[in-house]
Amino acid sequence: MFIIGINGSARKNGNTAYLLQEALKIAGDLGARTHLLHVVDVLSCLTVPFCVNCSRPCSGKCSQGNELGAALDLLRTADGLIIGSPVYFGTVSAQLKAFWDKTRVLRREKALLNVVGGAVTVAGARFGGQETALRAIHDMMLVQGMIIVGDGHQDFDCGHQGVCAQQPAVEDKNALERLQVLTKRIVEVAEATKGLRSRP
């Protein structure tokens, strides 16, 4: 299994990155190969860091020979994605949205079809918009045809959408417990659905 964490925060060492690093450690302990992708690094190489719908269907020309192309190539090989974002005005960061809009070429290719996804969000308050940000991430994954899991598990209560953390994430015991359950679910479902993903 290859599980990629996508850090949608402008900070490479902030709360979102911390949660994703912890999730990837858990996935690694479960036998998965892992990688952490910082969207701020990917976007920094682009003259226009947001999609302008320059071609229909998307030709992916903005991703040729740069960090974005390398990031998209990684995503083409993923079995699971854990997407994280801080909460900005009840939704995801502009950086995450800009990066995800650049994945239009992957949608044309159906490259993320049946890839398993889960979401992690962090806000400054306990009820700071985490679930609406999670929902935005879920919607982004649904458009790609991904398989979305929440943090429900057979040994735990089901129905929760993902990890909703409060700053500082390192001290949020509930979020860290949920992170273990979510990551385990992603790895399990990715393993069970391996045959549904077509790979070159």
**Can you tell me which residue has the tokens 């962090």?**
122
For residue 158, what pLDDT is reported? 42
Q: For the chain, what are the domain ranges?
A: 2-192
pLDDT of residue 156: 60
Inter-CA distances, 91 with 14, 21, 130, 167, 174, Å: 18, 22, 8, 16, 21
pLDDT digits (tens, 9 = 90+) for 89-119: 999 999 999 999 999 999 999 999 999 999 9
Which segment of 49-53, 95-99, 144-148, 163-167 scores lowest on mean pLDDT?
A: 49-53
Q: What is the mean pLDDT of residues 189-195?
A: 96
Residue 59 is predicted with a pLDDT of 87
pLDDT value of residue 14: 97
What mean pLDDT comes out for the span 157-170?
A: 82
Residue type at position 144: Q
Percent with pLDDT over 90 in the chain: 80
pLDDT digits (tens, 9 = 90+) for 47-75: 998 888 888 888 888 889 999 999 999 99
Segment among 5-9, 126-130, 132-136 with least mean pLDDT: 126-130
pLDDT of residue 154: 61
The per-residue pLDDT of the chain, averaged, comes to 93
Read off the pLDDT of each residue in 179-188 and give the average, rounded to a whole number: 94
Structural tokens at position 67 = 């960090």
Q: What is the spatial distance between Cα 120 and Cα 131, in angstroms, rounded to a whole number?
A: 9
Q: Is 28 exposed, middle or buried (0-12, 13-18, 19+ CB in 10 A)?
A: middle
Domain 2-192 has CATH 3.40.50.360: yes
